[in-house]
Amino acid sequence: MLVYLNNGLVPEDDAKVSVFDHGFLYGDGIYETLRVYNGKAFMINEHLNRLNRSASLIGLTIPKTDEEIKKALFLTLDANGFKEAYVRITVSRGAGPIGLDPALCKEPTFVIIANEFKSYPEKYYSEGVAIMIPEVRRNHRAALNPQIKSQNFLNNILAKIEAKNAGAYEAVMLNTDRFLAEGTISNIFFIKDGVLCTPAVECGILDGITRSLVIELALKADVKVREGFYRSEELNTASEIFLTNSTMEIMPVNRVNDSAFSPGAITSKLHEAYKQVVSE
Ligand code: PLP
């Protein structure tokens, strides 16, 4: 596999960054993940806008324009012969002496990794996946703004460890006020009395690109949408629950801690509408 590192493609074994990179030392960097369907990068402009937003929120200058990033991305896909791919774009602060000051790093490190997309098992969609509510809370948004899609992922990793220990696929964290926030790599939706509910961005979540599209598709399909502050107990009486992100798209949930759920009609209708947008 070939990886794009800084200014060109290198074999994956040579794709190395310095141990002095502040991304490695301090998690000082940002990233995006996106899907490529049939050679087309889905919602690439939205992902680049978010990458630029993350960069500006941490005072990082991305060493490439959007057009240059797109070029590098397609070069990486072509060189690897990938048409269905998962792509991660990472920009870290770069290498510099030990110390927190970003000014110690002269050049950001820019990486694009593309992998052939391996579909999730079909039964994740037909039967759903289990989620749990971990003990660890989502970082408070005043401490680490979730709108920064940062390399600093320890909060989510701690939640993921709890999910694994509980035999669940995803951990959906509460915020520090005990309102539902988001999964470790996903946003959560549930349906109650026919209304599609999802935690508001003000709950301290990443405003997922898939989340925004799902809201748009629901409104188009005349499904009422409510973004709000919800307790996890609300899930107990939900008729359907699902997760979203750029790679899983819309994935039904069949268990929350010990309560069982079934994939439902609104979830599958929205997923069909999502696939329609992808195919267009
Ligand atoms: N929330 C978190 C914490 C994430 O890491 C992600 C995706 O990686 C999402 C939500 C979903 O975002 P998107 O739909 O833009 O992929």
End-to-end alpha carbon distance in the chain: 29
Encoded amino acid at 96, one letter: G
- Residues 148, 29 share a domain: no
Residue that is last in its domain, among 67, 82, 116: 116
Query: To 5 degrees, how large is the angle CA 151–CA 130–CA 164?
Result: 50
What pLDDT is stored for residue 16 in this prediction? Answer: 97
- Could you give the number of structural domains in the chain? 2
- Residues 183, 93 share a domain: no
Angle between helices 209-220 and 44-57 in degrees, nearest 10? 130
Condensed to tens digits (0 to 9), the pLDDT of residues 200-238 reads: 999 999 999 999 999 999 999 999 999 999 999 999 999
- Residues 108, 129 share a domain: no
- Residues 219, 256 share a domain: yes
CATH code of the domain containing 131: 3.20.10.10
Q: Is 211 in the pocket of ligand 1 (CB under 6 A)?
A: yes
**What would the two tokens of residue 174 be?**
């509460």
Query: To 5 degrees, how large is the angle CA 131–CA 260–CA 122?
Result: 65
When pLDDT is averaged across residues 36-64 and rounded to a whole number, the result is 98
**What would the two tokens of residue 17 be?**
């960054």
- Residues 178, 49 share a domain: no
When pLDDT is averaged across residues 46-70 and rounded to a whole number, the result is 98
When pLDDT is averaged across residues 38-47 and rounded to a whole number, the result is 98
Condensed to tens digits (0 to 9), the pLDDT of residues 68-110 reads: 999 999 999 999 999 999 999 999 999 999 999 999 999 999 9
When pLDDT is averaged across residues 27-54 and rounded to a whole number, the result is 98
Q: How many CB atoms lie within 10 A of CB 69?
A: 23
Q: Is 246 in the pocket of ligand 1 (CB under 6 A)?
A: yes
* Minimal-distance CA residue to ligand 1 atom 3: 185
Query: To 5 degrees, how large is the angle CA 103–CA 143–CA 246?
Result: 90
Q: Is 245 in the pocket of ligand 1 (CB under 6 A)?
A: yes
Question: Which residue segment(s) compose the domain that 34 sits in?
Answer: 2-116
- Residues 170, 104 share a domain: no
- Residues 136, 70 share a domain: no
CA-206 nearest atom, ligand 1: 1
What pLDDT is stored for residue 167 in this prediction? Answer: 97
When pLDDT is averaged across residues 137-153 and rounded to a whole number, the result is 95
**What would the two tokens of residue 154 be?**
């320890």
Condensed to tens digits (0 to 9), the pLDDT of residues 257-279 reads: 999 999 999 999 999 999 999 99
**Cβ-proximal residues to 246 (8 Å cutoff; 6+ apart), any chain:** 33, 34, 35, 42, 43, 47, 208, 209, 210
What pLDDT is stored for residue 161 in this prediction? Answer: 98
- Residues 106, 134 share a domain: no
Question: Which 8-state DSSP code applies to residue 168?
Answer: -
Mean pLDDT of the chain, nearest integer: 97
- Residues 17, 145 share a domain: no
